Amino acid sequence: MLYSKEVMDHFENPRNIGKMADADGIGEVGNAKCGDIMKMYIKVENDIIVDVKFNTFGCGSAIATSSMATEMIKGKPISEALELSNKAVVEALGGLPPAKLHCSVLAEEAVKAAIKDYYDKNGIAYDAEQFCDGNCAACHAHDHEHAHGHAEEE
């Protein structure tokens, strides 16, 4: 079977799906590869992500990875959420077909964008390098599935 049981479960019963009216940070990112969009909302208290929601125009794999990503960051300190890589999310889901790895990047980037928005709104200083600026070339220097996901397709 192409998709793991976990992927199917998170696709069919996505956790934390929806919008959040009183979010402390909102991240919206687009996938250059397919044009899909992901929006992530976080609620922060004392540096802890106490609630998170997402909604997406993405495919099933984007839904499943975002659902898993929200579960993995909920209740966690921001510092831990920032370290969540799409690779860890994919592993937690029992893998994704190589052609769908790029979908998982959307989840990672949306989490980071929401945290960046929270930092910006609250005047919290941060190292700009930990956030995606839409410049994929810069990411090729980093150790995550970005370069991979793109390069392995087609």
Catalytic residues: 34, 103
Shortest reach from residue 61's CB to ligand FES, in Å:
5
- Among residues 20, 42, 49, 62, the one that binds ligand FES under rule CB under 6 A: 62
Q: Which of residues 16-35 bind ligand FES (CB under 6 A)?
A: 31, 34
Q: CA nearest 36: which of 127, 85, 93, 107?
A: 107
108 is an interface residue for ligand FES by CB under 6 A = no
Shortest reach from residue 23's CB to ligand FES, in Å:
22
Residue (7 or 62) nearer to ligand FES, CB: 62
Residue (14 or 58) nearer to ligand FES, CB: 58
63 is an interface residue for ligand FES by CB under 6 A = no
Q: CA nearest 114: which of 14, 19, 46, 12?
A: 19
145 is an interface residue for ligand FES by CB under 6 A = no
Strands 25-30 and 37-45: antiparallel
Shortest reach from residue 128's CB to ligand FES, in Å:
25
3-state secondary structure of 14: coil
Shortest reach from residue 57's CB to ligand FES, in Å:
8
Q: Are 8 and 95 in contact (CB under 8 A)?
A: no
Dihedral of the CA atoms 10, 111, 79, 142 (nearest 10)?
100
Taking CA 2 as the corner, what is the angle to CA 4 and CA 62, rounded to the nearest 5 degrees? 70
HSE-CB of 118 using CA atoms within 13 angstroms: 25
* Interacting residues toward ligand FES by CB under 6 A: 31, 34, 36, 58-59, 61-62, 103, 106
